[in-house]
A and B are shown apart, each in its own frame.
Chain A
Amino acid sequence: MGGQLLLPDELLVMLNEKWSCREQQLRQLHALVSYNKIDTVQPKLRALAASPSTLVAYGPCATGKSRVVEAYLESHVTNRECITGRHLLERTVAAVTASLWNDKPGADQDNAYNVRCENIAALVAHLQQLLKSHDKFVLVFDGVDKQRESPPTLLPALARLGEYVPGLTTILIVQHPPPRFLHQTGVPYIHFPAYTRAQSVHILSQLPPDIFLDLPTDGTDYDAEVHAEDKAWLWPRYCAAIWDSLAQNAARDLVSFRAICIKLWRPFVAPILAGDFGTRDISRLLVAQRRLFQDETVLPDSIIASPTLAPPASQGQDKQSTPSSIHELPYYAKYLLLAAYLASFNLAKTDALYFMKSTERKRRKKGGVTARSGGRASQKRQVPRHLLGAAAFTLDRVLSILHAILPHDLRGTVDVYTLVATLTSLKLLVRGGGLGAGDALEAGGKWRVGTAVSWEYVQGLAGSVNFSLQYHVAE
């Protein structure tokens, strides 16, 4: 998290090569936090290059903020692993200590700096103690706006660290800084803008993947050199096509752009492998494979790699392991979920209309309000109920609906209540709404159906138990 500055100027050139398209930011960084070799040799003689005590690097995700800063300072940068505010402080001290040790390899490790660091005041004291003999030190907090459980004073306090610890520069890396979030003026900002199309393609084209997983060995003159040339030619054009078709709308940041490019690469070059097209036949290849560029199902991430794009070796495995059987909910669980859905999406006042058995036919013929409303649209516009979120209901209401919709009598044993608890733990029913939502024993506690219980899901359930759902749902 911290690092002493040891910056030869030649580094800049090297970094520029490695982190292409970030030249301007590197220059800014260089101007703000570097100091010359002369200073390192004779720090006491010359006034230090004036670095600001605080610096903010900001930009959207995957724009190279952390990497560039890290590479420039050659220091390890972490922050989102901190669980609490105090954890952050402890780790800051630990990182500073570790960084100081690295500079002094022969240092005695026994007198390790073993202290507690409970709050920000303690952090200031520790840093003053540790950095007494150092005249320049840079502390980088990466992703500090995403810190969990951070006290509200954390950010302004970090920004002012440099005022209390001489020679300390704090760099805060954030994504979208709100105006005046440091409560301080005059803090220099370095903006890392999102990569443009040309930049993205340029960065990706530096590492083209293979076209042929194993080169044809049957005596043709196609050797590794030609292959490298071919792939360096084909890959950028392919990436540009992906950007134009999919990524510019849905995956603008570099990481997801690269993920999509790599995901679609193997299916894309499959015709080349099959020998249908040559390696330089890009226009015909693009036309032949246009289906790939239109299919948007590759965009969302998924835990399970989608089988169509997986390499053929694992496809064989998938076929064997296709689930032969589906775990179904038991009979009453299905009915209870149906009842819960109806209780969530029907108004309580219409319950008599839909669930009373004695007057079933008569009531239904009259219908709801729709019959009377005629041609004129009503003054109040009402959003259809099923488009709204699930409403909360009491336990007794869902149990009475359950009794009403079951085709036979139900013996109200403890199993029914266990079922409610089980479904709640599966998040198919959710506690919520009303007073005392957290307490399961609260009288008149309310439930809702979980988000997984959608209209389609409930229709599936109703189909499996032969329940005519549409007669009971209020439109």
Chain B
Amino acid sequence: MEYEKVYVFKPEAERPAKRRRVEPQGLQTSWQRRRQAFDQVWSVQQQAIDARLDSINSHTVDKVWQFLEQATRDGPPGRIPTGIILTGADGATGSGISKQIAERIRVGKDRRSLLSLSSSSGTNLKALLKTLILKATSRRTGSSDEDGVDDEDDELRTSRSIGPKLLNYDLQLLQDHVREHRTEQVVITFEDTEAFDSDLLSEIIELLGCWQARIPFACLFNIATSIDFLQQRLSQAAVKALAGQVFDVALSSVEVEQVCEAMFDTGKPLWIGSGLMSTMLERQHDYVISVDSFVATMKYACMSHFYANALSVFLEPDAESRDVAADHVEAVRQLDSFKTYARRLLDDHQVAVLEELLESDTALRLLVRDKVAEGRQKLSAMVQTLKVIRLVQQRLPNTPVSSMSSLYVQAMSGKLIGSPLIRSLLLTHRKTPSNIVVDLLRELMSSHTEKGTPTFSGCQELLTRLDGLIESQKHSAKPLRSEDDSQNTTLRTTVVAQKVQLSKQKSALSEQDKKYTELLGILTSGIEEIFDNNLVNPNDLVFHEIFVYDLKAPYREVFTPRPRHAIERALATPHDYLDCDCCGSGQGDEHVEATLAATQPATAVLYQLYLESGSLINASDLWQAFQAVLGDGREELEIMALFQRALAELRYLGMMKSTRTRVDHVAKVMWQGL
């Protein structure tokens, strides 16, 4: 060691294998497998969702693209061709569109470049232009990692081979770049138009308008509110510089529907229960939340099921080939739905079967496998039935079409069976004239062959009979009417002994109409049969805990936390969190929060005093009250230190601030419970 300047550590061999005490035990053993299962399951779903979301706005992207193409050929002279994309408040879709356009530009052969500006690109014109030029010129060289655009850094760019050096916010640079690369169009997207400062936006548009003759600009604005609002904010010269066209993207509710349908369509092993689903949809409807975050919540639900519920190991795509540890089988026996199943077996006097299930793990494994497969199959049949419901709703006149997600929520809660919705649907169906019914029947059959929606027996035969009946009725232009149709009954008013009597009278029905009514009855009962067979209550399925996930608490805690409430509650009832002996004992648990005690943390004491006072608090009064609470057996200086620290903490939390109206008071800024 002494002759060496530096000791070089050379490990002799591999690291000694530690005896890991954290080896997974019990239900934890399957964790790796569950994680793999989740990865498999989710990657399929993510693909399906991405495909849906990409295709949903493809029409708009096409139109924007056409607009840009046309602008290169014959743009309005002296004005910047401008695409205005109405995105709605969440704005995520708008950037999706510009992403797709950028993708097209990258793939395409024509020389275009797309530069996106957001309100964070710069707070003044200079910084904005720097960002713009940097983005444009660094694209080809590949050095995309820009090192912070600094306001004060006015370096002269030396990239130009000839001519004088230019400042790095001089659009001359961009012009040179455009000329060198023979770019046909420079598309600038404004990601969040509203968030830009109005003056800044006007200035940059005016400036771009000045350069329009030399650099072929085109603009895309993402707008969340309205064009009028944009126009109000721009200067007149800026408005003159723009020649716009409006593009509309899909509503966020439509996007959510698409995500839901993508979720239902893939043969997924895990189903999300009605409670969670409705909470998620409600939040999506109530707040400005992008569809990406909706997908994230879906993913989180899926993830928490696979990660936290050991029984999800049975959902593995190839679960039967591997054996599942005995702990898991034991856990299955604890499930509520298994207990109900066992009770049912006992009621059916199948004691031997039950005994085997309780004794033998293998038998239970097989049962779980079968029942899970059966349950999943039933659920997907139910979702297909929902499509039938929608199809019928679309065909029937005067019937609103429910959204797939709302139907799903109802179905998963088991409320759809015999619901008013279904009953009124069937009633309306009984009254429908023949032209609609035949179309409906055809569509039912074709959707059965194409998408595998459920159907009923005798469909084809019914169609032939209906067709035959209509063929015979060909000479009359009117469709055949059902007997139950209210158009066929007339109300008759007769006055008998000064009393008005209403009587219903059926108009005379032709022979064909009667036959039609009979056939319609068959069809209606057929549809009813579909509903009856396929609509199930998921909670009645055996082992539904395994393939239906319906826990709201994790979702709530992760996605909708309540930071303010948490702080307020912690300050109001510190005992709940500290769990100390001094504060909690001796009193009823409910009234703990109302008391003030010297043993509580000083900030909590001061906060409770703060709650009791009005909007302006006299500092001296507060101090005296504080002293009275903490007073016994302490030095005044110590209490003062505590008081000042507590005051500073409350101020740091943003609850009070000093006020200029009264120097010796503090202003109360936050009220409890908001």
Contact = CB atoms under 8 A, between A and B. Distances in A.
Interface of A: 80-81, 83-84, 86-87, 90-91, 93-94, 97-98, 109, 112-116, 148, 301-305, 321, 323-325, 327-333, 394, 396, 399-400, 403, 411-415, 417-419, 422, 425-428, 441-444, 451-452
A327 B674 contact: no
Contacts of B210: 80-81
B327 interface: no
A452 B225 contact: yes
A458 B561 CA distance: 30
Size category of the binding interface on chain B: 35 or more
Interface string B211-235: 1000000000000111101111100
6 contacts: A112-B162, A112-B164, A114-B164, A304-B244, A327-B89, A444-B667
B288 A396 contact: no
A325 B257 CA distance: 15
Nearest to B171: A81
Contact of A331 (B87, B129, B203, B286): B286
B192 A425 contact: yes
Given A304-B227, A403-B674, A415-B560, A325 B171 contact: no
Contacts of B194: 425-427
A173 to B, nearest CB: 15
B656 interface: yes
Interface stretch (B245-253, B310-318, B575-583): B245-253
Interface in B592-612: none
Contacts of B169: 83-84, 87
Contacts of A321: 63, 246-248
B373 interface: no
B129 A411 contact: no
Nearest to A335: B286
B287 A332 contact: yes
Interface string B65-100: 000000000000000001010111110000000000
Contact of B564 (A87, A394, A412, A444): A412
Contacts, number: 167
B164 A304 contact: no
A115 B203 CA distance: 29
B442 interface: no
A404 to B, nearest CB: 11
B167 A90 contact: yes
The 8 closest A-B pairs by CB, nearest first: A327-B88, A443-B654, A413-B560, A303-B244, A399-B674, A444-B669, A425-B195, A426-B194
A304 B288 contact: no
Contacts of A114: 164-165
Nearest to A303: B244
A403 B674 CA distance: 8
Contacts of B207: 81, 83
B669 A394 contact: yes
Nearest to A317: B245
B171 to A, nearest CB: 7
Given A80-B210, A426-B89, A301 B236 contact: yes
A81 B243 CA distance: 21
A321 B247 CA distance: 8
B280 to A, nearest CB: 12
B248 A330 contact: no
Contacts of A412: 562, 564-565, 673-674
Contacts of B560: 411, 413-415
Nearest to A428: B225
A414 B227 contact: no
B50 interface: no
Contacts of B164: 90, 93-94, 97, 112-115
Nearest to B88: A327
Interface in B510-565: 560-565
Contacts of B129: 83
B120 to A, nearest CB: 10
Contacts of A94: 163-164, 166
A442 B655 CA distance: 10
B657 interface: yes
Interface in B630-663: 651, 654-657
A83 B287 contact: no
A425 B288 CA distance: 12
Contacts of A325: 248, 251, 254
Contacts of A414: 560-563
Contact of B89 (A97, A116, A422): A422
A15 B603 CA distance: 83
Given A321-B63, A327-B88, A413-B560, A304 B669 contact: no
A413 B283 CA distance: 11
B580 to A, nearest CB: 29
Nearest to B287: A415
Contacts of B287: 330, 332-333, 415, 418-419
Contact of B657 (A87, A305, A327, A443): A443
A97 B285 CA distance: 63
A403 B671 CA distance: 13
Nearest to B244: A303
A87 B86 CA distance: 36
Given A327-B87, A425-B195, A428-B225, A396 B671 contact: yes
B448 interface: no
A96 to B, nearest CB: 10
Contact of B243 (A305, A329, A413): A305
Contacts of A116: 156, 165
B24 to A, nearest CB: 34
A305 B564 CA distance: 49
Contact of B651 (A332, A427, A428, A443): A443
Contact of B231 (A303, A331, A394, A425): A303
Given A86-B167, A90-B167, A109-B162, A323 B125 contact: no
A444 B154 CA distance: 38
B651 to A, nearest CB: 7
A475 B160 CA distance: 65
A91 B82 CA distance: 29
Given A411-B562, A413-B561, A427-B195, A400 B674 contact: yes
Interface string B116-141: 00010000011001000000000000
Contacts of A332: 286-287
Contacts of A331: 285-286
Contacts of A87: 167, 169-170
Nearest to A334: B286
Given A426-B89, A443-B654, A329 B288 contact: yes
A81 B211 contact: yes
B496 to A, nearest CB: 46
A250 to B, nearest CB: 13
A81 B90 CA distance: 35
Contacts of B232: 451-452
B242 interface: yes
A256 B657 CA distance: 54
Contacts of B227: 303-304
B312 to A, nearest CB: 28
B423 interface: no
Contacts of A115: 164
A247 B224 CA distance: 35
Given A331-B286, A414-B563, A112 B163 contact: yes
A52 B28 CA distance: 93
Contact of B82 (A109, A148, A303): A303
A441 B169 CA distance: 33
A417 B203 CA distance: 32
